[in-house]
């Protein structure tokens, strides 16, 4: 259900810090949609519906569940 | 067995009279070994005064983020450095959200907006959205749009919104520690107008904001005085960037004590699991709460965070032989 960011993505899609080993973010992402674009670190427009979500970066497009 | 449990059995179970603040506090202070008996009693109270049905609801955020208020737990306040961006749903998305909710067997769909109170644009979206949902989906529509004027209350009634959610969030004495941009009393005013309008009142809050156990009891007693049709019980899910972002989550046993205490304070209310149960209680605790006074759930995702799949909750209810309340039973 979760769109996994490519391993080469420079940013963490939850906290917006440089990608790496973020155990807290990894755990939280089970119950959270992404918030930052993993490519450019922009905050994404996130829409949560009862059965899914989508997150859009103006530059890099939309990911969804 | 603790004396308070005998007293609660006679008063709440037999006579349907909720515990007062002092009694609630005694429940909240029960030692771990008394907790199973408290949950069992709360369950018996729920079965006797509400029945075995569970009310299932879905919620959606019509307008997310950018709120001018400063509720310290909330990732949607525009005053904190939360990563949640402002965004609106359009009408087709709103109808889709209602359809997803109805597909789970839910009878309730609550439309929520992150605002101090509605403006003309939001009321217009509500008018169109509620009409579109009613034309396409067989479900009852509730709303949560902040503080209302009397005209707005009347308009919502006219639209066919049958229940209005407005949480007091925490007890009166602790509220100023959590919100500074409006008062507990202002929230109470809206609740009074909603009640007088004939809409059902839905009012609950969040545990784990830093309130003491005495303040938790105060809160339950204040809710009982309001006598809402429904009480949604949230457990703080600390949100990054908010003033309460570093608070610990409520300990599972304390959450269960609170569930039993709230049920024993309000024997007839719809006591709903809302946000935070996944992290506070997990799967096992979720089950224990449903056997300890809870008789309603929010299924699927929340407003800005995700829930466990709706099917997991529906399967659990089946496993517990608790029927999902049907639409005909709510009309
Ligand atoms: S009024 Fe509602 S949306 Fe706004 S900050 Fe408070 S809880 Fe969040
Ligand atoms: Zn991270
Ligand atoms: Zn981007």
- Using CB atoms within 10 Å of the CB of residue B293, give its burial: 0 to 12 exposed, 13 to 18 middle, 19+ buried: buried
Q: Do A51 and B61 touch (CB under 8 A)?
A: no
* Ligand 3 midpoint to CA B239 (Å): 23
Q: Which of B103, B104, B108, B105 lies closest to B139 in space, CA to CA?
A: B108
Q: Is B202 annotated as a binding residue?
A: yes
Torsions phi, psi for A45 (to 5 deg): -85, 115
Q: Is residue B282, in this structure, part of any structural domain at all?
A: yes
pLDDT tens, position by position, for chain B (331 residues)? 789 999 999 999 999 999 999 999 999 999 999 999 999 999 999 999 999 999 999 999 999 999 999 999 999 999 999 999 999 999 999 999 999 999 999 999 999 999 999 999 999 999 999 999 999 999 999 999 999 999 999 999 999 999 999 999 999 999 999 999 999 999 999 999 999 999 999 999 999 999 999 999 999 999 999 999 999 999 999 999 999 999 999 999 999 999 999 999 999 999 999 999 999 999 889 999 999 999 999 999 999 999 999 999 999 999 999 999 998 775 5
At residue A6, does pLDDT exceed 60? Answer: no
* B interface test, pick of A48, A53, A54, A62 with most B CB neighbours within 10 Å: A48
**Hey, what are B25's tokens?**
């506090």
Rounded (5°) CA angle B320-B273-B184: 155
Question: What is the helix, strand, coil percentage profile of chain A, to 5?
Answer: 15, 30, 55
Question: Which residues, including other chains, have CB under 8 Å from residue B271's CB and lie 6 or more apart?
Answer: B46, B230, B231, B233, B259, B262, B263, B293, B294, B295, B296
Q: Which chain A positions have a beta carbon within 8 Å of B58's beta carbon?
A: 50
Distance in angstroms (rounded) separating the CA atoms of residues B172 and B265 = 17
Q: Is residue A8, in this structure, part of any structural domain at all?
A: no
Supply the pLDDT for residue B328: 77
Q: Is residue B216, in this structure, part of any structural domain at all?
A: yes
**How many domains does the structure of chain A reveal?**
1
Torsions phi, psi for B12 (to 5 deg): -90, -50
Q: Which domain holds residue A34?
A: 23-64
Supply the pLDDT for residue B1: 77
Q: Is residue B5, in this structure, part of any structural domain at all?
A: no
Supply the pLDDT for residue A7: 56
pLDDT-derived band at A1 (thresholds 50, 70, 90) equals: very low
Q: Is B171 annotated as a binding residue?
A: no
Distance in angstroms (rounded) separating the CA atoms of residues B4 and B23 = 7
Q: Is residue B3, in this structure, part of any structural domain at all?
A: no
* Ligand 2 midpoint to CA A11 (Å): 8
Q: State how far residue A36 is from chain B, nearest Cα, in angstroms.
A: 8
* Bridging pattern class, strands A45-49 and B205-207: unpaired
Ligand 1 neighbourhood includes B62 CB (under 6 angstroms): no
* Ligand 2 midpoint to CA A31 (Å): 14
Q: Is residue A59, in this structure, part of any structural domain at all?
A: yes
Tokens 């509620």 belong to: B130
Tokens 């959606």 belong to: B60
> For the complex shown, is ipTM > 0.85?
yes
Q: Is residue B132, in this structure, part of any structural domain at all?
A: yes
Q: Do B96 and A46 touch (CB under 8 A)?
A: no
Q: Which domain holds residue B231?
A: 20-323
How many other CB atoms are there within 10 angstroms of residue B97's CB atom? 29
Q: Do A47 and B303 touch (CB under 8 A)?
A: no
Q: Is residue A52, in this structure, part of any structural domain at all?
A: yes
Torsions phi, psi for B301 (to 5 deg): -80, 160
CATH number at residue B264: 3.20.20.70
**How many domains does the structure of chain B reveal?**
1
Q: Is B74 annotated as a binding residue?
A: yes
pTM across the whole model: 0.95
Distance in angstroms (rounded) separating the CA atoms of residues B108 and B239 = 26
Q: Which ligand 1 atom lies nearest to the CA of residue B77?
A: 5
Check if A51 contacts B (Cβ < 8 Å): yes
SS3 B62: strand
Q: Which of B316, B223, B233, B317 lies closest to B276 in space, CA to CA?
A: B233
Q: Which chain A positions have a beta carbon within 8 Å of B107's beta carbon?
A: none
Beta bridge partners of B271: B231
For B28, how many CA atoms within 13 A lie in the half-sphere containing its CB?
A: 24
**Hey, what are B34's tokens?**
């008394």
**Hey, what are B322's tokens?**
């608790």
Facing residue for A50 by CB, picked from B60, B279, B304: B60
Contact B52, B293 (CB under 8 A): no
**Hey, what are B60's tokens?**
């959606």
Supply the pLDDT for residue A8: 78
Q: Report the b/e string of A19-48 with b at 16+ CB within 10 A.
A: beeeeebeebbebbbbbbbbbebbbbbbbb
* Ligand 2 midpoint to CA B76 (Å): 20
């Amino acid at each position: 259900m979760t769109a996994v960011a490519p391993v080469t993505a420079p940013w963490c899609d939850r906290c917006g810090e440089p990608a790496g080993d973020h155990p807290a973010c990894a755990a939280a992402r089970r119950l959270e949609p992404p918030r930052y674009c993993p490519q450019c670190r922009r905050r994404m427009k996130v829409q949560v519906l009862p059965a899914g979500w989508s997150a859009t970066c103006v530059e890099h497009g939309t990911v969804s569940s | 067995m603790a004396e308070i449990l005998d007293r609660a059995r006679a008063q709440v179970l037999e006579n349907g009279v909720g515990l007062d603040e002092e009694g609630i506090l005694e429940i909240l202070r029960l030692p771990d070994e008394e907790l199973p008996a408290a949950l069992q009693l709360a369950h018996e109270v729920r079965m006797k005064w509400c029945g075995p049905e569970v009310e299932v609801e879905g919620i959606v955020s019509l307008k997310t983020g950018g709120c001018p208020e400063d509720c310290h737990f909330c990732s949607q306040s525009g005053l904190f450095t939360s990563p949640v961006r402002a965004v609106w749903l359009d009408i087709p998305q709103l109808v889709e959200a209602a359809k997803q909710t109805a597909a789970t067997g839910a009878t309730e769909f609550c439309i929520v907006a992150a605002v101090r109170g509605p403006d003309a644009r939001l009321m217009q979206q509500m008018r169109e959205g509620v009409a579109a949902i009613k034309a396409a989906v067989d479900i009852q529509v509730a709303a949560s749009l902040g503080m209302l004027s009397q005209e707005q209350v009347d308009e919502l009634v006219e639209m066919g919104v049958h229940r209005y959610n407005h949480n007091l969030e925490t007890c009166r004495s602790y509220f100023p520690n959590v919100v500074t941009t409006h008062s507990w009393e202002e929230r109470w005013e809206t609740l009074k107008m909603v009640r007088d309008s004939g809409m059902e009142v839905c009012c609950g809050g969040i545990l784990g904001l830093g309130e003491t156990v005495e303040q938790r009891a105060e809160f339950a007693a204040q809710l009982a005085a309001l006598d809402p049709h429904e009480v949604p019980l949230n457990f703080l899910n600390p949100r990054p960037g908010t003033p309460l972002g570093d608070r610990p989550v409520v300990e599972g046993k304390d959450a269960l004590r609170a569930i039993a205490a709230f049920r024993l304070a309000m024997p007839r209310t719809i006591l709903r699991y809302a946000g935070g149960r996944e992290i506070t209680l997990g799967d096992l605790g979720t089950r224990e709460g449903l056997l300890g006074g809870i008789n309603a759930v929010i299924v699927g995702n929340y407003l800005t965070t995700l829930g466990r799949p709706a099917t997991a909750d529906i399967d659990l209810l089946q496993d517990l032989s608790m029927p999902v309340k049907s639409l005909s039973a709510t009309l």
